[in-house]
Structure 1
């Protein structure tokens, strides 16, 4: 068993307003003036299940969860520096972009979007971000 502990310069973030981590990781970590948010799926924080089977429903909930984690960290969507969007099917790119724009408006953080073979619990989309605190 590992004896590694979180360094005192880092702060683990956990909020009940987003689904709990489904593995050995934190919802986010604050390091200095940056927040590193783990990938958010389209889970309902109350039930732990997906909010629906459509890409739109899962993308909207993933971004709602990301927003909750960022706010619990002391920042917001307007301070996201970099986002990464993982999709099960790149054919969903346009649909995900539409939902993404609803959350970011005129703010356009740097971003990557990639198709992946599989996401946890067979989700359709997962979104992670790095945000500034100041």
Structure 2
């Protein structure tokens, strides 16, 4: 079994300034994980919980050497966040967001395949299931 996340991994958090991103970033830091920054285009250039906030995954990777992104963005924005991580070439994307539409999940997975499978995707957590009669 391969181990994709180690004590040497440098982690960025997409959605670091939101409530879930903040809560889990603090937990990761308390556990000793090497969280090196976060991504929120609207808050780029600021510091959140002592960590720099970048405009993009690519910028965060270039500045910090990050090799893992943990994604805590709302379900409606998850597909774009994962695609951004793929485009930046992050080796590992951990999608924590719950309720991501299954169609979005299959779309970003297919996108990763089309880009050469350079980004391993774990997640998302609890895919969104449409209620009867609704389209997903």
Same fold flag (TM > 0.5): no
Q: Which has the higher helix share?
A: 2
Q: Which has the higher strand share?
A: 1
TM-score when scaled to structure 2?
0.36
TM-score when scaled to structure 1?
0.37
